[in-house]
Amino acid sequence: MTRTKPIDPILEKGYNVRLLVDDFDGLINKWTKRSAAFRATVDSSIDCQYGSGEKDKLDIFRCGQDNAPLFIFIHGGYWQRGDKSFYSFVAESFVKSGIDVALIGYQLCPDASMTNIVEKIQEAIIWLWRNADKHSISKNRINVSGHSAGGHITGMILATDWQKIANDLPQDIVKTGIPISGLYQLDPIRETTIGDALGLDDNESLELSPHFFEPKTDAPILVTLGGAETPEFHWQTNQFVEKWKDHDAPLDYHAEPDVDHFGVVERLASKDSEIFIKVKDWLI
């Protein structure tokens, strides 16, 4: 797609975080192997088709306890890379702690627009709510989280008016929201090479920036990131917290010490980390 704004080198360095990892491909390979090993051992439903698209699939991992919380995790990759299968390992500590987990896949840009992606995640959450009994999960304990682009989508989910989608949906379908290292204002991304595949214009950039909305629920929100993230990610998070802190939804903030944009994902998957313990205790 045609770039709509020139590249800003400072923003490029701040947002193109994979360039800060010495062996990014090696990191993803490690996560992929770890995830495959976990999938081989857990009670699961893999590749549940929630929509009509090729990647409109989700994975469910069950802890085996009745009426357990459901932790939904939306992967990152700047809406243009990644796959849910890389991130199964995130579910392991949650499952072992009595929490069911769902990982949502979605069609990526440029084959899908960012508007389409948000709509697909909404569709997946509705599918989980409608099919909960069939898959032995709770429809009344849905908690939504996501990392990076998934953190952005989590913000959009918290700003969703569910009854405008279908009048049988409860407005509190989502019980908590936990965006991790999210992007809440999209205009800066348009000044980086990351924006090339997204095709955002002024209108869509504004309409898809959670910062400029407000929560449509009073569900508690835990806004998190890695303490060693770039200044741009701290700016995104701090601005979002400042804007959303005065709404009815209770809001808390956590910076996981000493980890960067990808290290925070590994900490989330570690049962002894501060962020895992805080997220686990946050779930309803």
Tell me the average confidence (pLDDT) per consecutive run of 10 residues in the chain, 284 residues long: 80 95 96 98 98 97 98 98 98 98 98 98 98 98 98 98 97 98 98 96 97 96 98 98 96 98 98 98 96
Kindly state whether residue 3 falls inside one of the protein's structural domains.
no
d(CA 125, CA 61): 15
Three-state secondary structure call for residue 56: coil
Q: Quote the pLDDT of residue 70.
A: 98
Q: In whole angstroms, how far apart are CA 108 and each of 53, 56, 97, 190, 209? A: 11, 10, 32, 17, 18
**pLDDT tens figures, 135-194:** 999 999 999 999 999 999 999 999 999 999 999 999 999 999 999 999 999 999 999 999
Question: Distance (Å, rounded) from C-alpha 207 to C-alpha 20?
Answer: 30
Element (H, E) at 224: strand 221-226
Pull the structure tokens for residue 248: 């009815």
Beta-strand ranges (E) seen in the chain are: 44-49, 57-61, 70-74, 100-104, 142-147, 176-180, 221-226, 251-256
Domain membership of residue 278 (yes or no) is yes
Q: How far is the CA of 210 from the CAs of 155, 176, 229, 236, in angstroms?
A: 5, 16, 20, 11
Q: Residue holding tokens 């627009």? A: 113
- With 0-12 / 13-18 / 19 or more C-beta atoms within 10 angstroms meaning exposed / middle / buried, residue 241 is middle
| Dist CA 36 CA 43 (whole Å) | 13
Q: Which residue has the tokens 């490690």?
A: 30
**SS3 for 39?**
helix
Evaluate whether residue 2 is within a structural domain. Answer: no
State which H helix or E strand residue 27 sits in: helix 24-39
Determine the Cα–Cα distance for residues 165 and 148; give it in Å rounded to an integer: 25
Q: How many domains does the chain contain in total?
A: 1
Q: Which amino acid is at 236?
A: Q
- Rg of the chain in Å (alpha carbons): 17
Residue 193 sits in a domain of what CATH number? Answer: 3.40.50.1820
**Number of residues written out for the chain:** 284
Q: What are the pLDDT digits (tens) for 120-140?
A: 999 999 999 999 999 999 999
CA dihedral sign of residues 6, 11, 12, 18 = negative
Say what the pLDDT of residue 251 is. Answer: 98
CB 15 within 8 A of CB 192: yes
* Residue position matching structure tokens 């929100």: 221
Residue 136 domain flag: yes
Distances (CA, A) of 53 to 47, 104, 198, 239: 12, 13, 19, 34
4 within a domain of the structure (yes/no)? no
**Phi, psi dihedrals of residue 168, rounded to the nearest 5°:** -90, -5
Within a domain: residue 90? yes
**pTM summary value:** 0.97
Q: Which domain holds residue 166?
A: 9-282
